[in-house]
């Protein structure tokens, strides 16, 4: 592919976005007539091709972005392909979906149209797989707009899936990817008349841009995820889960634990167990160095720190940590700008708090969520069902994982949640929904609604009365003009008749 620089790249990117959007619309219109069996055959072929290439694409994503762990990216690719397909393959999306004989309603599937799919650098290949599958399953077209730092691995993922889909009968252009990336090109794609919906996964500025173009958009939000460990918890398991989850792909999944909130009676045991699993506690000076490494003075995250091992972070921060360290832990006394490590940290650093009981722990979790994680996710380790339910009812988070990993639990790997790489935070987090986004969010449903009862008698009589009055008024006004003989009505007579009729109608 020819490379472009400067102004030319912007023009080429804009033109490419326009071309892909028009081609996708034409392909989607042809695909509209595809049967459920054909749709499923195409999706199954794409899911299988993606799954078979999971390891290679995971390695590509790691090498291109510099984020995370290749083996962990392989697991995410397997979830984004086979895991997602298994979760939606039996969902009907074509023709009659359901019949409610009692209510006499027939539901019929209808595609949204062309979906612009914005993809982040943190989970690029797995997100491409997942978005293509949920879009095409609902007979939509999907255009991938990758983050520039994940361009090559996204292009290759789309190439593999589109090739498999076309061999199974998918129209050319139904699944595509922008090659000549630029901000202007992505903006043009989102604004283009042929695009029906934007599915945005990524950083806050990108999601806000998606919501600002005047089209339907489904976006995510930041995930400053607290994990509360109650005195009733299985502490050794909780410690293992927390460290393993935080270390998984170096914490680039937005639902990964960000701060530990420990119930005071088990805090010391939890520290000891976390250390056994590879947690290294930072001293105050190291904390400050790591905070400067992770964030600039405004609080914006340093991209160089994202998805890094503790050893790589230590090198960036100019400190030394043991080779056995899997995560870094900072003891914190508060939440907010004065405590930078209380923010969302897309890397292997955890905050740590101790609270006197679950009530205080509850308040600390709410404070953390409000400081950059409203509506997203929370983790609780406990065996006291009363405490678990209280957290479920009271916390402003729409995914509350119980006794499991935050990272893999939220995306549906270790829980019964819908497998998804787009975790919506609801209205309080800036999204239209609070679900793990899947095929049902890209599927419109129309309904045949048969009469189940006659209109109320009062409504019928009122309607008939209004009709009769209107008919009488018309006769009264037109009568003079239709007479063949006799005196006509004056203008004042006609005006009076009209006033009386209008008065009766208002009454």
> Which of the residues are catalytic?
254
Residue 317 token pair: 């921060």
Burial of 29 (0-12, 13-18, 19+ CB in 10 A): middle
Cα separations in angstroms, 392 against 135, 377, 396: 31, 11, 9
- Residue-by-residue DSSP string for 287-304: HHHHHHHHB-TTS-B-GG
Q: How far apart are the first and last CA of the chain?
A: 75
List, in sequence order, the alpha helices (H) in 277-377.
Answer: 284-294, 310-317, 358-370
Instruction: Say which residues have a Cβ less than 8 Å from residue 170's Cβ, sequence separation at least 6.
Output: 31, 42, 46, 136, 162
Q: What are phi and psi of 103, to 5 degrees?
A: -85, -5
CA distance 179 to 262: 47
Q: How many CA atoms lie within 13 A of 414 on its CB side?
A: 17
CA distance 365 to 135: 35
CA distance 256 to 102: 45
Neighbours of 379 (CB within 10 A): 33
CA distance 369 to 162: 39
Long-range CB pairs of 75-79, under 8 A, 24+ apart, other chains included: 75/413, 76/123, 76/125, 76/126, 76/249, 76/253, 76/411, 76/421, 77/50, 77/51, 77/53, 77/125, 77/126, 77/129, 78/51, 78/54, 79/126, 79/411, 79/412, 79/413, 79/419
Neighbours of 413 (CB within 10 A): 19
- Strand 257-263 to strand 114-119: parallel, antiparallel, or no bridges (unpaired)? unpaired
* Secondary structure of residue 281 in the 3-state scheme: strand
**Residues 432, 218 contacting (CB under 8 angstroms):** yes
Q: What are phi and psi of 139, to 5 degrees?
A: 65, 30
* Secondary structure of residue 92 in the 3-state scheme: coil
Which residue shows structure tokens 């009062």?
458
CA distance 502 to 507: 9
Reported as type and span, the H/E element at residue 109 is strand 105-111
Reported as type and span, the H/E element at residue 469 is helix 457-482
**Residues 378, 401 contacting (CB under 8 angstroms):** yes
Which residue shows structure tokens 């506690």?
281
Q: What are phi and psi of 102, to 5 degrees?
A: -70, -45
């Amino acid at each position: 592919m020819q490379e472009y620089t400067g102004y030319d790249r912007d023009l080429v990117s804009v033109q490419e976005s326009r071309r892909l959007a028009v081609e996708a619309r034409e392909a989607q219109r042809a695909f509209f007539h595809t049967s459920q069996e054909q749709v499923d055959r195409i999706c199954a072929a794409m899911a299988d091709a993606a799954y078979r290439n999971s390891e290679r694409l995971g390695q590509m994503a790691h090498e291109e972005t510099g984020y995370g762990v290749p083996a962990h990216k392989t697991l995410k690719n397997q979830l984004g392909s086979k895991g997602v397909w298994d979760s939606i393959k039996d969902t009907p999306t074509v023709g009659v979906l359901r019949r409610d004989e009692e209510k006499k309603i027939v539901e019929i599937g209808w595609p949204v149209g062309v979906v612009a799919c914005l993809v982040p650098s943190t989970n690029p290949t797995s997100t491409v797989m997942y978005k293509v599958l949920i879009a095409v399953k609902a007979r939509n077209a999907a255009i991938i707009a990758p983050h520039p730092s994940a361009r090559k691995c996204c292009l290759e993922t789309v190439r593999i899936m589109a090739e498999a889909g076309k061999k199974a009968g998918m129209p050319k252009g139904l699944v595509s990817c922008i090659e000549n990336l630029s901000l202007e090109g992505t903006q043009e794609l989102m604004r283009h008349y042929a695009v029906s919906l934007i599915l945005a996964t990524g950083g806050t500025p990108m999601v806000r841009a998606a919501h600002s173009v005047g089209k339907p958009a489904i976006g995510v939000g930041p995930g400053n995820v607290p994990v509360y460990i109650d005195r009733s918890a299985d502490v050794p398991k909780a410690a293992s889960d927390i460290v393993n989850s935080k270390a998984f792909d170096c914490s680039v999944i937005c639902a990964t634990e960000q701060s530990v909130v420990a119930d005071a009676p088990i805090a010391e045991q939890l520290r000891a167990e976390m250390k056994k699993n590879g947690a290294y506690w930072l001293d105050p000076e190291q904390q400050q160095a790591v905070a400067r490494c992770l964030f600039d003075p405004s609080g914006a995250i340093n991209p160089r720190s994202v998805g890094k091992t503790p050893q790589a972070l230590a090198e960036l921060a100019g400190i030394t940590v043991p080779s056995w360290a899997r995560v870094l832990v900072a003891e914190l006394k508060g939440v907010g700008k004065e405590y930078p490590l209380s923010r969302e940290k897309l890397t292997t650093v955890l905050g740590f708090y101790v609270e006197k009981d679950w009530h205080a722990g509850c308040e600390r979790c709410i404070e953390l969520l409000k400081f950059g994680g409203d509506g997203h996710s929370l983790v609780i380790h406990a065996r006291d069902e009363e405490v678990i339910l209280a957290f479920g009812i009271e916390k402003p988070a729409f995914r509350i994982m119980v006794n499991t990993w935050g990272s893999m639990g939220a995306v549906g790997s270790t829980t019964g949640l819908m497998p998804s790489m787009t975790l919506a935070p609801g209205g309080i987090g800036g999204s239209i929904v609070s679900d793990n986004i899947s095929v049902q969010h890209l599927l419109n449903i129309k309904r045949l609604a048969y009469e189940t009862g006659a209109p109320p008698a009062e409504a019928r009589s009122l309607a008939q009365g209004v009709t009769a009055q209107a008919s009488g008024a018309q006769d009264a006004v037109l009568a003079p003009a239709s007479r063949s003989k006799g005196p006509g009505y004056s203008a004042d007579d006609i005006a009076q008749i009209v006033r009386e009729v209008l008065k009766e109608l208002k009454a």
